[in-house]
């Protein structure tokens, strides 16, 4: 079961690569949140996706957005990956129970044991404002995400 635009986003608390707890509801009223679900650290398509996001971060910051990467990898994998890729945003470990948070959003692929590739924008009110699911081998169009984020920001301005 997936989620739909307009629904309240399921809250979660997960650890990032620095072992800090990140809670979705902490951003309520402060920032729009871009949840970037991706299958695995170190895979070629995910690496390209993160490289695009790292390059686009300045633009995302001007759009009042917090980017949170989410996969089933461990905190330690995320830490090594973030250091190698120059990632400054949080990579959240949906590790134990595996995929439980992604499952709340309808993007956990239980048969493969990984997170699907999907981007969800949660507005400052804590509601789903935009969703796009991608095939596993497709790098999301970061410009498209930025345009959607621009619309979300304008709607809440």
- By annotation, the residues acting in catalysis are 46
Tens digit of pLDDT for each residue in 36-79? 999 998 887 767 777 767 777 777 778 889 999 999 999 999 99
Question: Domain residues of the chain, as ranges?
Answer: 13-156
User: Which residues are paired to 120 by β-bridges?
Assistant: 35, 131
> pTM for this structure?
0.93
Over 80: is that where the pLDDT of 2 sits? Answer: no
- Do residues 70 and 154 touch, judged by C-beta distance below 8 A? no
Measured distance CA(63)–CA(48) in Å, rounded: 22
Tens digit of pLDDT for each residue in 88-137? 999 999 999 999 999 999 999 999 999 999 999 999 999 999 999 999 88
Q: Maximum distance among all alpha carbons in the chain?
A: 41
Output the pLDDT for position 142.
84
Backbone angles phi, psi at 22, to 5 degrees: -120, 125
The size of the chain, in residues, is: 157
The CATH classification number of 13-156 equals: 3.40.30.10
E strand or H helix that includes residue 115: strand 114-115
Measured distance CA(53)–CA(141) in Å, rounded: 10
DSSP 67-96: EEEEESS-HHHHHHHHHHHT--SEEEE-TT
């Amino acid at each position: 079961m997936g989620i739909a635009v307009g629904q309240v986003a399921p809250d979660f608390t997960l650890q990032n690569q620095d072992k800090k707890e990140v809670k979705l509801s902490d951003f309520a009223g402060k920032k729009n949140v871009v949840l970037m679900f991706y299958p695995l650290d170190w895979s070629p398509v995910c690496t390209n996706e993160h490289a695009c996001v790292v390059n686009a971060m300045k633009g995302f910051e001007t759009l009042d957005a917090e980017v949170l990467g989410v996969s089933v990898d461990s905190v330690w994998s995320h830490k090594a990956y973030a250091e190698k890729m120059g990632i400054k945003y949080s990579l959240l470990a949906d590790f134990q129970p595996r995929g439980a948070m992604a499952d709340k959003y309808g993007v956990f692929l239980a048969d493969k044991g990984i997170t699907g590739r999907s981007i969800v924008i949660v507005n400052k009110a804590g509601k789903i404002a935009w969703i796009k699911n991608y095939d596993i081998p497709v790098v999301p169009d970061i410009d498209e995400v930025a345009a959607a984020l621009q619309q979300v920001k304008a709607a809440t301005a």
